[in-house]
Structure 1
Amino acid sequence: MKSRNQTRVSEFLLLALTEDPEMQPIFFNLFLSIYLVTVLGNLLIMLAVTTNSHLHTPMYFFLANLSFTDICFSTTIIPKMLVSLQAQNQSITFAGCLTQAGFVLVFTTGESILLSIMAYDRYVAICHPLRYTTIMNSHFCYLLMLFSWLTNLGDALLHTLMLLQLSFCTNLEIPYFFCEVVQVIKVACSDTLINNIVLYFAAGILGAAPLSGIIFSYTKIVSSVLRMPSAGGKYKAFSTCGSHLSVVSLFYGTGFGTYISSTFTHSSRETAIASIMYTVVTPMMNPFIYSLRNRDMKRALKNIIRGIPASQ
């Protein structure tokens, strides 16, 4: 098959959510609802953290950044899905596909690093409470976030530029509901060895390192909590980590589920549905997890809804 230069590629074809015309309005309303709930829920979290002086702590600063990341993550994927459903057209331009793939990488990597940072914050708070304000000062928190964003953007830019060097043939169907770097590489007809090496090397570092940091932090936290003499102290320590552990479990659980699905099943639709859990459901659930399990956050959200000044 004769390849053609990537500059001549005009568009890719994404997997359709459904082939049944009667189901398309149902899926449109479902994903529109999910998107609105995701944006509203995460905006409320950001508003509560910003306006309530009692929440001006490192833990809630990182939580606000997590909510911002979740909004951006959902906005990268769901609006395009809604447009495709409404127009009954699954095509996406070459530039649009690479842009979407790059931003998906930015926000997935960003969430992974951010969850690791939040685990470290809980480790310092529980294992070194007397030094907490000294270690987790505002300057250090801003540096951590700057490091996170520079790493995310640098990684995504590298992979996107490498995608531009590939050539594509006639088979431009991507078996996902959105563009993702791995799937774009798979439909290329030029040599992708370097792309795959760089991709898996970066994934090993930016995926395994944050997860290792989370495991290390919680190993130290559990060890420290078990040595506490007071049952009340143990409960308080674990309760401050409960929300974060739930979010970590949801993020990595759905992520590994997507990977396992793509490895052991030959059905592209099953793999794509698993990816929906990872990219759509997780950002929607995070605000509920933090608001339902965190007393201070529930109080701040109730004050916003009732119109009470947040500083009270």
Structure 2
Amino acid sequence: MSNLDRSPAAAPADAPHAGFTPVAACWVCGGTALAPVHTALFELSEYARQDPELARYTGATVRIVRCAACGFGQPEALPALPDFFGRMYDQRWSAAWMETEFTSGYKDLIFGTVLRRLEARLPGRRTLLDLGAHVGRLMKVAAGRGWAAEGVELNPSTAAHAARATGLPVHRMDARELSSSGRRWAAVTLIDVLEHIPQPVEALEAARTVLEPGGWIAVKVPHGRVQLRKEMLRARLRPGYRATVADNLVHVNHFGVRSLTLALERAGFTDVHVEIAAPEVVPAPGARRGLSNAVRLATWRLGRLLPRGVESPLSLHLQAYARNP
């Protein structure tokens, strides 16, 4: 996710930030009984040169609230700065970093699991559009399994890398713009994307516009309540550690099984299935990394064996599949 380069007008260094706009109702179900569960901190000083207006939010806080009706978590207010999220995600990564991100394969277990599930649901239909394609790794893995894969990526640097590294089409436009071309795909993937986008039902509705009738979407997100508990436990065990799961509103949406299911249904999808998502496995040397990978894999496998494992503390991420009628 990114936006076009911007050059904000200079302003005094001690000028206040642009403020916040309250969010009155749950983005998923419309409920208004919202209880605070956490406080998110803004630390954007790294943008001081690139975007001083954005950097002025450093030190501000906003509460994360949870909906009593569906369990969805979201901020009680959003930064009023125009295109706040686009400006925050205007990351300017180095070529070396993008190449490492592409070749490391740390999400290959996730990608392989998702593709197998989609293949079981779509026998003989192998067109795929990856929304939020990043550096193109999922596209590469999909192509290796026989998919005709394409991507959507708004960040110009990562979009260029994905196209160059895979040799596959990468579209620098959002799903609704792309749908106006009339093209449709059998499968659409949103892997580690939806948690970053305010108004997630609208984002899912946009994704549905590029799906064929009978096509399937795969959505992976962090399990909001479990991630927050994990971070708060870590903070208690490690003096000086701060639970940062919501800071800067990088994770603006905090889903549970119920709210993710409801979001997909409200967007017009049917046959929703939610399971524990496969973990990231970092292929790096060293006993510590090996132990970390082993714990992640064991947690995932054990959670899948439990009758309601997807609702348990072992379910750190959620993987959903849903059909476009």
Shorter-chain TM-score: which interval? under 0.3
Task: Considering Cα pairs closer than 8 Å and 6+ residues apart, tell me whether 1 or 2 has the greater RCO.
Answer: 1
Which structure carries more helix by proportion? 1
TM-score for the superposition, normalised by structure 2 = 0.24
Which structure has the highest strand share of the two?
Answer: 2
Normalising by structure 1, what TM-score? 0.24
